[in-house]
Amino acid sequence: MKSIYITTPIYYINDKPHIGHAYTTIAGDILARYHRMIGNSVTYVTGTDENSQKNLEAAQKAGVADMMTYLDSMSALWQDTWKKLDISHDDFIRTTQDRHHTAVAKFWGLVKEKGDIYKGNYEGWYCVGCEAFYLESDLVEGNCPTHKKPAQKIVEENYFFRLTAYRDALLAHIEAHPDFVQPVSRRNEIINYIKDNMIDVSISRVNASVGIPVPDDADHKIYVWFDALINYLSVVGFGSDEKKFNENWPAHLHLVGKDILKFHCALWPAMLLSAGLELPAHVFAHGHFTIDGEKMSKSLGNVVNPVEVMEKYGNDALRFHVMREIRFGEDGDFSLTRLEQRYVSELSNELGNLMYRVLSMSEKYCDGKIPAAGSIVIPLDTGAYMAAFEKFELHQALDVVWNTVRACNKLIDDYKPWELAKTDSFKVREVMYALLDALARVAHTLSPFCPVTAEKILVQLGLSLEEVAATPFEERIAANKLPEGTALMKGDVLFPRLS
């Protein structure tokens, strides 16, 4: 049993979650559920990044005078969203919590003791949208290149982190651990950045109205990214529960979007090296969504609310669609039209009808019970499935499952049980066993992606969910394990017609 600690970014709460945030959180949830299923001990966490100027501006815009009142209500809204999307996180960190402040103070102390924090003059540009510093040469006509809004000129005495002292160590680590930064395209991007563009970073702001105060110098507040990254330590007990911390750290995976790659693959590992802590095993940066081909934005009015999608199509359809639509790691487009098409063609026709037909035929040809196993086995390539998960190729793992769904449909087409039943009642039962058995393996391997559907299939196959949970994964996915004579429990169709 391995200890697997997986994180999502902690999200800014200047607005409600959109489909992009849900994508990362769903992907992390799929990985967490997979690792729990194969018997690993999993800690999956997400949270909210609260000490940010962006949140303050949003509170002011919303007319909420007390910042904490605003943060409490927004953080609750995010937590409620993950509950509705059935995200199985084990903890939720808020950077306004005491446990985080304790961890940040301890971390700052370690880095300071190492001699990596110094005072210097910062003269440059800051974009609140990005919460990031820019060189004048980065700006486009004075505007932030991402938000296209004027950057703020800052001239002040700040604390700096000696990031450049870690240039060689970072490059050596990335070289020695080819799977630290994934996918490969991102690895090259970060190597170039570290080699050519990385400079020491200002890690405090003078007289800022939000932020964690610098220990021993309350005139300064800690730069939000330096504070936020430490959440990955505080949520597993750094500075407050050393036993828990040692059980979880180093993390197995930081899952992020490609927009925040630099913070996670340059600044963060350098901070950890400075503090004398181990580096996470993997950082995986996935791509970004557009919506019907356009960038998602409030002004275009195309921001997709994941809760509305869930309410209309169900969580499983949402999870299934995003994982099937986009090779995990690449950019992609989200379209409700495509989701509906896939719902009908794949979920409803290929899987839902398959299940319904197999159970109906089993009623007719096998008295509604699981018949005896025969010599036909529909393969499910579990080796490829598990290898795909190890490489974070989530779309590939799902493809393995779907190949078996398609093989089931093909077997029906090939044998035509309704004809076979007329001539060979023994053979037809063998065909039905092969289908029922394959559907059980489909349900197990589909469960990280579509947990609700997987449970429905298992229940309809007459299996007890408690018994399944107590069975080791290797046994669950072995062929010919369905107990003969078990009564099938034909239920509702898996994917009802869309209204």
Residue (10 or 128) nearer to ligand MSP, CB: 10
Q: What is the nearest approach in angstroms of ligand MSP to the Cβ of residue 465? A: 32
Out of 144, 265, 366, 450, which one is annotated catalytic? 144
Annotated active-site residue 298? The verdict is yes
Chain residues that interact with ligand MSP, rule: CB under 6 A: 9-12, 20-21, 23-24, 49, 228-229, 231, 256-257, 259-260, 288-289, 296
**Minimum distance from CB of 262 to ligand MSP (Å)?**
11
Which is nearer to ligand MSP, 310 or 435 (by Cβ)?
Answer: 310
3-class SS letters over the chain:
CCEEEEEEEEEECCCCCCHHHHHHHHHHHHHHHHHHHCCCEEEEEEEEECCCHHHHHHHHHCCCCCHHHHHHHHHHHHHHHHHHCCCCCCEEEECCCHHHHHHHHHHHHHHHHCCCEEEEEEEEEEECCCCEEECHHHCECCECCCCCCECEEEEEEEEEECHHHHHHHHHHHHHHCCCCEECHHHHHHHHHHHHHCCCCEECEEECCCCCCEECCEEEEEECHHHHHHCHHHHCCCCCCCHHHHHHHCCCCEEEEEHHHHHHHHHHHHHHHHHHCCCCCCEEEEECCEEECCECCCCCCCCCCCHHHHHHHHCHHHHHHHHHHHCCCCCCEEECHHHHHHHHHHHHHHHHHHHHHHHHHHHHHHHCCECCCCCCCCCCCCHHHHHHHHHCCCHHHHHHHHHHHHHHHHHHHHHHCHHHHHHHCHHHHHHHHHHHHHHHHHHHHHHCCCCHHHHHHHHHHCCCCHHHHHHCCHHHHCCCCCCCCCCECCCCCCCCCCCC
**CB of residue 444 to ligand MSP, shortest distance in Å:** 28
Cβ-based nearer residue to ligand MSP, 267 or 420: 267
Distance (Å) of CA 80 to CA 49, 74, 140, 257, 415: 16, 10, 39, 22, 48
Residue 114 bears catalytic tag: no
Query: Least distance in Å: CB of 289 to ligand MSP?
Result: 4
Our answer to whether residue 21 is catalytic in this structure is yes
Q: How many CA atoms lie within 13 A of 148 on its CB side?
A: 1
Selected catalytic residue, list 83, 84, 119, 147? 147
From 127, 265, 408, 450, active-site residue? 127
Q: How far is the CB of 47 from ligand MSP (least distance, A)?
A: 9
Q: Is the CB of 23 or the CB of 415 nearer to ligand MSP?
A: 23
Residue placing its CB nearer to ligand MSP in the complex, 222 or 400: 222
- Active site annotation includes 130: yes
Q: How far is the CB of 435 from ligand MSP (least distance, A)?
A: 38
> Least Å distance between CB 54 and ligand MSP?
8
- Closer by beta carbon to ligand MSP, 324 or else 476: 324
Q: Which of 119, 153, 295, 410 is catalytic?
A: 295
Annotated catalytic residue within 130, 265, 366, 408: 130
Residue number, 288 or 357, with CB nearest to ligand MSP = 288
Q: Are strands 181-182 and 282-286 parallel, antiparallel or unpaired?
A: parallel
Residue nearer to ligand MSP on the CB measure, 338 or 427: 338
Closest CB 491 distance from ligand MSP, rounded Å: 35
Instruction: Please pick, among 61, 243, 298, 422, the residue that the annotation labels catalytic.
Output: 298
Neighbours of 298 (CB within 10 A): 9
Catalytic residues: 18, 21, 127, 130, 144, 147, 295, 298
